[in-house]
Chain A
Amino acid sequence: MLEKGKISPRQSCQLLIMALIATAILLVPSITIQQLEQDAWLAVLLGTLWGLVTLFAVYQLGLKYPNQTIYEYAQTLLGRWPGKIVGLVYVWSFLRVTAIVIREFGDFMTTSFMPNTPISVFSISLIFLAIWAVFAGLEILARMNEFIIILVISSLIFIMLLSLDNWDLANLQPMFTADLLAVVKTSFIPEVWAVDTITLSVIIPFLTRPKQALVAGAFAAFFANGLLAAGIIAALATFGPFLLQITRFPILTFVRVINIGKILSRFEVLVMVVWVAGVFIKTTLYLYCACLGLAQITDLKEIRPVVLPLGVIVIVWSFSMFNNIAELELSMSTPSARPILIYLGVPLLLLLVSWFKEKLQKRQPRRAQ
């Protein structure tokens, strides 16, 4: 085993919540509101369902092949080389998510807080922290997250409570006018969809009680997307859909106008706390999943040799992937087949294959008798 630590189902749930919230809170409100106006929160709630499908597939596979990650059971299911290729696809896509998250974070910081600071400062310091944390291992990350999540969730709830003063619920009307097809389409945007449940395919073997992974994952998906929907509703109630369409970071903008009695104002710092902490956890989790995958595919005995190279690749990738923030946003907001295939298709396919294999195995002994 490459990972010696064990985490509890509760810790895995917390990790998932952080991974889901961290990026979602930034761009998702803007993307969904652009598509669906005041019904944006519907897509977020619907998106939870797709995440649950992924979760279910990953959970079933995890129970069938205890103590194996997706990289390992892909090889047992599909054969050595096809399994390795599937594994590499996952490594690639985990790295891609890491790169995008780092880029989003850098763009957010330079746009809204430190316009004169080069983006590389944020990206490089973030990736070094992440590399360090990956070295330390999953258990350490989970334990650290236990502390960070309290900060993040309480700041988010605090912000929403403070904004109650600015709410006008009439802004949410007319409800349910959006086209159903548009809602479904928007809900398939990877950031909207609770896609991070896929990381459980790597984490489940390291759980102390793998059977509780389903409950933990489902709770995380519902909690995170519920909080996100609440955030969207809060922003909508404050600004109305038409003003929100023109803002880049709706949650930040909505926090900036909180002003209670001229004393309770300027809570942008809290958004930054949520962001720095959340993005750090998410980056580390995905980098960890990618590194572990590469180590397992190449049959290494240790995870360490691959961490630093992958970290460097990620940082370069995050710089070169998009030329500007418009490209980033466009790629975020267009639903494409690739994530659906990787995060929904492949786990279901693997589940199907394992199911057939079981049937075959059951039949063969009978014939032998």
Chain B
Amino acid sequence: MKQMRKLLTIFLCLIFLISGCWDYVEVEELTLVRTIAIDYLPERRAPYLVTLAISLPADIAGEKSGSGGGSPTQLFSAVGATLNLAIEQASLNLSRRLFFSHAELILIGEEAAKHGLLHILDFISNHPQVRFNVDLLITKGFARDVMTTTERLEVAITEEMIGMIDQARYSSESDPLQAFEFLQKLVTPGQDAYTALLLKGPPLEEEIAKLKDEQKPGGQEESTEGGAGGANGGGKSEGGSSGSTEDIQEILTMAGLAAFQNDKLVGFLNSHETRGLLWFLGKTNRTFLAIENPEKPSETISLHVARVQTKIKPHLENGQISFSVEVITEGDIRSQTGNTEIFTPEMINKINSAKAGAIKQEMEKAMRKMQELKVDLVGFGTILYRHDPETFRLLEEKWPEEFSKLKVNIVVTSEIRRTGMQSHPARLRR
């Protein structure tokens, strides 16, 4: 017995000596990968170009890092035949260990998306550190170019993009998905995947200047000068960040969706089509709609949508599949361009039906676009599968074709409950 005790003690001491420090890394030796941008360079032996946006742990905690690092985020790029190899290459340029648990964003370039996301999703879901709920964004053009954009409000470009993703949930022009949501759409039969599109382009100030230039030949000289001056003035009042008009920085916009068939990018939905799609999904809470004034078509009324509920049901008649889509929305009136008396029950009824018409039109437009691309982003196939698995099993193979000629019957019910702080529009006495 005593011998046993001794033996046990020795072994237990050994355990303390050898136990679990293999994976131990000091925080000071770590760098946090915040964003992974992935591009694909076709016809190369090492086609994956990976750009890592890296910050030091101290920056995340909000402490002022004493070391002179300049910008808190550093970019490291490398190419490889797979993502892991590319990351390995990138780490040759680093003085610290890479840590992926705090990666929040994966940006995928247009070319990589066209080539297929399978490898990228495989990398995400198989990696023990990369989290399954990282946000997935597609960029037009190279993802690396997006990373070099200068941040405007936040400390780093990653934070800026994360903020934009949060904001996107308060509007209805795009719908960023997390990696697991995207993968779920991808692997579920009768459904195609999508995620938000990130654009990089010149800000509106530059566009205004261009518009003025276009007007030049037609307009009078004096007015043009005045206009240019005005534009400059606007540029200055915009803030110090843009500096002089010559080096106007490009800015990021999140609008529209990238549509995938299987794992390959097949097309883009612009922001109107995106909202049309989101009506189907019941995700358009908080958005603004513009409709013509039913009394005076030249005037516009803007409406705010606060709630939306969508029910989709499949119907099977004589082997013909059709879907009925019922949308119920609620919201209020926000403003109008004229001063028509619109706050009466009759007018509100008219506006309601105009709003329902506008929504229906938007949805049909989105539907046409999806059928053109043969991507079932709504998941009509999945809905059919859930209601009637046998019928769907028969159609599963040729669902894209079936979808492209699918009949969808849309019924929109709109309710305007409130009209804002005004009781009557301002009347002009003279």
Separation of A115 and B101 alpha carbons in the complex (Å): 14
Residues B178 and A257 in contact, CB atoms below 8 Å apart: yes
Residues B389 and A177 in contact, CB atoms below 8 Å apart: yes
Stretch in B26-34, B127-135, B319-327, B370-378 touching the partner: B127-135
A114 interfacial by beta-carbon distance below 8 Å: yes
| Total A residues in contact with B, Cβ cutoff 8 Å | 31
Residues 357-398 of B contacting A (Cβ, < 8 Å):
385-389
Separation of A242 and B189 alpha carbons in the complex (Å): 8
Stretch in A15-23, A57-65, A117-125, A291-299 touching the partner: A117-125
Residues B128 and A259 in contact, CB atoms below 8 Å apart: no
Residues B11 and A243 in contact, CB atoms below 8 Å apart: no
Nearest residue (CB) in A for B127 is A115
With a cutoff of 8 Å between Cβ atoms, the chain B residues found around residue A256 in the complex are 131-133
Separation of A173 and B183 alpha carbons in the complex (Å): 19
> Shortest beta-carbon distance, A115 to chain B, in Å?
6
Stretch in B17-25, B37-45, B145-153 touching the partner: B17-25
Known: A174-B387, A174-B389, A257-B178. Contact between A118 and B22, CB under 8 A?
yes
With a cutoff of 8 Å between Cβ atoms, the chain A residues found around residue B132 in the complex are 253, 256-257
A132 interfacial by beta-carbon distance below 8 Å: yes
Residues B22 and A174 in contact, CB atoms below 8 Å apart: no
Residues 114-150 of B contacting A (Cβ, < 8 Å):
125, 128, 131-133
Residues A117 and B15 in contact, CB atoms below 8 Å apart: no
With a cutoff of 8 Å between Cβ atoms, the chain A residues found around residue B12 in the complex are 128
Separation of A121 and B22 alpha carbons in the complex (Å): 10
With a cutoff of 8 Å between Cβ atoms, the chain B residues found around residue A112 in the complex are 128
Scoring A residues 250 to 264 as 1 if CB is less than 8 Å from chain B, else 0, what string do you get? 000100110100000
> Shortest beta-carbon distance, A34 to chain B, in Å?
13
B426 interfacial by beta-carbon distance below 8 Å: no
> Shortest beta-carbon distance, B34 to chain A, in Å?
15
Residues 205-257 of A contacting B (Cβ, < 8 Å):
239-240, 242-243, 245-247, 253, 256-257
Nearest residue (CB) in A for B12 is A128
Residues B22 and A173 in contact, CB atoms below 8 Å apart: no
With a cutoff of 8 Å between Cβ atoms, the chain A residues found around residue B20 in the complex are 114, 117, 121
Known: A128-B11, A304-B1. Contact between A246 and B125, CB under 8 A?
yes
With a cutoff of 8 Å between Cβ atoms, the chain A residues found around residue B387 in the complex are 173-174
Separation of A304 and B1 alpha carbons in the complex (Å): 9
Residues A242 and B11 in contact, CB atoms below 8 Å apart: no
With a cutoff of 8 Å between Cβ atoms, the chain A residues found around residue B18 in the complex are 121
With a cutoff of 8 Å between Cβ atoms, the chain A residues found around residue B183 in the complex are 243
> Shortest beta-carbon distance, B148 to chain A, in Å?
26
A111 interfacial by beta-carbon distance below 8 Å: yes
Separation of A116 and B1 alpha carbons in the complex (Å): 37
With a cutoff of 8 Å between Cβ atoms, the chain A residues found around residue B11 in the complex are 128
Residues B23 and A240 in contact, CB atoms below 8 Å apart: no
> Shortest beta-carbon distance, B218 to chain A, in Å?
52
Separation of A120 and B132 alpha carbons in the complex (Å): 28
Residues A257 and B180 in contact, CB atoms below 8 Å apart: yes
B4 interfacial by beta-carbon distance below 8 Å: yes
Separation of A149 and B180 alpha carbons in the complex (Å): 32
Residues A242 and B133 in contact, CB atoms below 8 Å apart: no
Separation of A177 and B385 alpha carbons in the complex (Å): 11
B316 interfacial by beta-carbon distance below 8 Å: no
Scoring B residues 165 to 200 as 1 if CB is less than 8 Å from chain A, else 0, what string do you get? 000000000000010100110011100000000000
Separation of A239 and B181 alpha carbons in the complex (Å): 8
With a cutoff of 8 Å between Cβ atoms, the chain B residues found around residue A115 in the complex are 23, 128
> Shortest beta-carbon distance, B106 to chain A, in Å?
15
Separation of A304 and B4 alpha carbons in the complex (Å): 10
| Total B residues in contact with A, Cβ cutoff 8 Å | 29
Known: A173-B386, A174-B385, A243-B183. Contact between A308 and B4, CB under 8 A?
yes
Separation of A48 and B18 alpha carbons in the complex (Å): 41
With a cutoff of 8 Å between Cβ atoms, the chain B residues found around residue A128 in the complex are 8, 11-12, 15
A113 interfacial by beta-carbon distance below 8 Å: yes
Separation of A170 and B388 alpha carbons in the complex (Å): 13
With a cutoff of 8 Å between Cβ atoms, the chain B residues found around residue A177 in the complex are 389
With a cutoff of 8 Å between Cβ atoms, the chain B residues found around residue A243 in the complex are 180, 183-184, 187-188
Separation of A152 and B53 alpha carbons in the complex (Å): 38
Scoring A residues 150 to 176 as 1 if CB is less than 8 Å from chain B, else 0, what string do you get? 000000000000000000001001100
Separation of A118 and B20 alpha carbons in the complex (Å): 9
With a cutoff of 8 Å between Cβ atoms, the chain B residues found around residue A239 in the complex are 180, 184
Nearest residue (CB) in B for A253 is B132
Residues 131-163 of A contacting B (Cβ, < 8 Å):
131-132
Nearest residue (CB) in A for B133 is A257
Separation of A6 and B4 alpha carbons in the complex (Å): 25
Scoring A residues 10 to 39 as 1 if CB is less than 8 Å from chain B, else 0, what string do you get? 000000000000000000000000000000
With a cutoff of 8 Å between Cβ atoms, the chain A residues found around residue B188 in the complex are 240, 242-243
With a cutoff of 8 Å between Cβ atoms, the chain B residues found around residue A132 in the complex are 8
Residues A125 and B15 in contact, CB atoms below 8 Å apart: yes
Known: A128-B12, A257-B132. Contact between A247 and B125, CB under 8 A?
yes
Residues B22 and A117 in contact, CB atoms below 8 Å apart: yes
Separation of A182 and B4 alpha carbons in the complex (Å): 50
> Shortest beta-carbon distance, B153 to chain A, in Å?
18
Partner of B128 from A111, A131, A246 at Cβ < 8 Å: A111
Separation of A125 and B18 alpha carbons in the complex (Å): 10
With a cutoff of 8 Å between Cβ atoms, the chain B residues found around residue A174 in the complex are 385-389
Separation of A111 and B23 alpha carbons in the complex (Å): 12
Separation of A131 and B11 alpha carbons in the complex (Å): 12
Separation of A240 and B193 alpha carbons in the complex (Å): 14
With a cutoff of 8 Å between Cβ atoms, the chain B residues found around residue A114 in the complex are 20, 22-23
With a cutoff of 8 Å between Cβ atoms, the chain A residues found around residue B133 in the complex are 256-257, 259
Q: Can you spell out 27 A-B residue pairs with CB atoms less than 8 angstroms apart? A: A111-B128, A113-B23, A114-B20, A114-B23, A115-B23, A115-B128, A117-B23, A118-B22, A121-B18, A121-B19, A124-B15, A125-B19, A128-B8, A128-B12, A128-B15, A174-B386, A174-B389, A177-B389, A239-B184, A240-B188, A243-B184, A243-B187, A243-B188, A253-B180, A256-B133, A257-B132, A257-B180
Give me the interface of B with A, judged by CB distance under 8 Å: 1, 4, 7-8, 11-12, 15, 18-20, 22-23, 125, 128, 131-133, 178, 180, 183-184, 187-189, 385-389
Give me the interface of A with B, judged by CB distance under 8 Å: 111-118, 121, 124-125, 128, 131-132, 170, 173-174, 177, 239-240, 242-243, 245-247, 253, 256-257, 259, 304, 308
Rank and list the top 8 A-B pairs by shortest CB-CB distance, nearest first.
Answer: A173-B386, A117-B22, A114-B23, A242-B187, A243-B184, A257-B133, A116-B22, A242-B188
